[in-house]
Structure 1
Amino acid sequence: MTSTAAPAALVVDGAYELAEGGRWVDGRYVYVDILSGRLFELRDDTGLAAPRQLAQLDVPLGAVAPVSDQPGVWIAAAGTGIALLTADSAPEWLDRPEDRTAAPSRMNDGVADPAGRFWAGSMAYDGTHGAGSLYRTDLDGTVVRVLDGLTIANGPAFTADGTTMYLADTAAGTILRCRVDPVSGDLSGGPETFAHLREGEGSPDGMTVDDEGGLWVALWGTGTIRRYHPDGRLLHTVTVPAPHPTSVCLHPSDNRLFVTTARHGVKSPTATSGAVLSVPVPVRGVAACSWRGRR
């Protein structure tokens, strides 16, 4: 295992409370500020010069994925459910399953899989143990609860063939690995523990899979990013200049890792907390998948 304090570049000092959900979509890097309900983009063709706000909700916005063949339309994990989102209209809610839970809760991170389904997790505002769930939005718009008993469901990430999903339960310090039927979207057996973080190693947050199958994980609380081999071996640890990295995204055509960070919970935040950073790395990523529903 190697460890580096990489020369991280400050891409955006946005003073975001909880920047998250970084994805590479159609030549641009998109990300959210969860608690303010805002969606932003940085365009590669402008040299990532300045963020542009694409949408704002009056509820927390956990993550988005593009909707296939519908430019400017996003499927979003937001508020208490899943919605279709555009810049100039009210959200179209597909379902709000967290309205039906005992503890006041919100949606959190989410991602589309290679088959075109959208997966997103939830969490209780007060961190109630076991109150979080993982949901799958199928192509017909049906929202299905796939797993429950989680606490803070975070960072769904898929392998290129869509048969393996990694899922973090942040509060438990655990990264789960699930086998997925790429046709039905059903899980093949129960989740297995892929990695467990010990006290002091940080809490697993956003994740992504690189073009070699390695899993990158942002570790809240320690200012570190880890890369794991598919067999679970820890390959590399990168230190970034912010205590709470929240999501990781690899550029698909050059060797840069984009990292969102949070100011939330930082007593004396600097410009790198609540920001977007970039770090040179030896591998690349793939563009975000789209939700292929509602055609």
Structure 2
Amino acid sequence: MTSTAASAAVLVDGGYELAEGGRWVDGRYVYVDILSGRLFELRDAGGPVPRRLAALDVPLGAVAPVHGRPDTWIAAAGTGIALLDADGALEWLDRPEDRTPVPSRMNDGVADPAGRFWAGSMAYDGTPGAGSLYRTDHDGTVVRVLDGLTIANGPAFTADGTTMYLADTAVGTVLRCRVDPASGDLLGGPEAFARLRDGEGSPDGMTVDEENCLWVALWGAGTVRRYHPDGRLLHTLTVPAPHPTSVCLRPDDNRPDDNRLFVTTARYGVTNPTAASGAVLSVPVPVAGAAACAWRGLL
């Protein structure tokens, strides 16, 4: 295992309370500021100037593009899953967290290679076991797949869609689940892929690179880790903010000598934040990632 201090550039400085959910979509980097319910994009051609795409009156955990519907997103927002159009209007598919015993919200989410959307939830007060993982199928049905989680975070899939990684942030564990791409069903229960010890941070947003390795943002530790598929820790990057929240690797796009890792960070919980907290960071790395998958449903 190697460890280095990342040569991170601040693309967008610390104006966000809880930036999260960074994804590469149609040649642009999109991300959210969860607590303010805002969605942003950064385009290569436009330089490091974010453009706000939406501002909701509920928290916005993450989005994925909707196949065949430009400028429409499927969103983990508020207490459920909704379609978000270019005008910022929400069409709710379901609000399962309205039916929970403690006040809760949706958190991170991602579409899988088969076109389903997966998103986790958490209680506002971090009640142990109050979080769940949901899957939104092609017909718009929202299914609770796992419960008993605390802060369900960072779903990330391998390119073939047969493996999903899921973080339970509060208990410091990254889970690995086998998935049937045809049905979306889990094949057996989740297994522990990585366990973080006290002082190593809490696993947050994740992504899988072109070599099938897993990158994990570690809240509270100011680091990003890269794991081999067999669970070996390969590398640790130190970033200039204590709370990295999500990681996104830019696809190759014919730029093999300019691979980039984008990292969102939080100001939330930071006593003396700098410009790197609540920011978007860019870090040169030796490997590329893949563009975000789209949700394929309800056309």
Task: Please state if 1:106 is matched with 2:105.
Answer: yes
Cα offset for 1:86? 1.5
- For residues 88 and 70 of structure 1, what CA distance do their matches in structure 2 show? 13
2:264 to 260, 266, 271: 260
- TM-score using structure 2 length: 0.97
1:285 to 283, 286, 289: 289
Counterpart residue type for residue 280 of structure 1 = P
Name the structure 2 match of 1:141. Answer: 140
Deviations 1:27-83 (A, max 9, x none): 00000000000000001222x330000001100000000000100000000000000
Counterpart residue type for residue 234 of structure 1 = L
Q: Is the 8 A contact 1:27 1:45 kept in 2?
A: no
Counterpart residue type for residue 5 of structure 1 = A
Other structure's SS at 1:45 match: coil
Cα offset for 1:101? 0.2
- For residues 123 and 93 of structure 1, what CA distance do their matches in structure 2 show? 19
Counterpart residue type for residue 262 of structure 1 = A
- For residues 282 and 131 of structure 1, what CA distance do their matches in structure 2 show? 38
- For residues 218 and 2 of structure 1, what CA distance do their matches in structure 2 show? 16
Q: Report matched runs for 1:34-45 at 5 Å.
A: 34-45=34-45
Name the structure 2 match of 1:155. Answer: 154
Task: Please state if 1:171 is matched with 2:170.
Answer: yes
Name the structure 1 match of 2:56. Answer: 57
Name the structure 2 match of 1:117. Answer: 116
Name the structure 1 match of 2:197. Answer: 198
Counterpart residue type for residue 266 of structure 1 = V
Name the structure 2 match of 1:181. Answer: 180
Task: Please state if 1:74 is matched with 2:73.
Answer: yes
Cα offset for 1:90? 2.2
Deviations 1:90-118 (A, max 9, x none): 20000000000001000000000000000
Q: Report matched runs for 1:186-265 at 5 Å.
A: 186-253=185-252, 254-265=258-269
Name the structure 2 match of 1:15. Answer: 15
Counterpart residue type for residue 32 of structure 1 = V
Other structure's SS at 2:45 match: helix
- For residues 88 and 26 of structure 1, what CA distance do their matches in structure 2 show? 19
Name the structure 2 match of 1:294. Answer: 298
Give % identity.
84
4+ residue stretches of structure 1 with deviation over 4 A? none
Q: Is the 8 A contact 1:259 1:276 kept in 2?
A: yes
Q: Is the 8 A contact 2:54 2:88 kept in 1?
A: no
Paired positions, count = 294
Deviations 1:207-236 (A, max 9, x none): 000000000000000100000000000000
Cα offset for 1:272? 0.3
Cα offset for 1:15? 1.2
- TM-score using structure 1 length: 0.99
- For residues 65 and 58 of structure 1, what CA distance do their matches in structure 2 show? 19
Other structure's SS at 2:98 match: helix
CA RMSD of aligned residues (A): 0.7
Name the structure 2 match of 1:4. Answer: 4
Counterpart residue type for residue 132 of structure 1 = G
Deviations 1:177-202 (A, max 9, x none): 00000000000000000000000000
Name the structure 1 match of 2:255. Answer: none
Deviations 1:230-254 (A, max 9, x none): 0000000000000000000001024
Name the structure 1 match of 2:33. Answer: 33
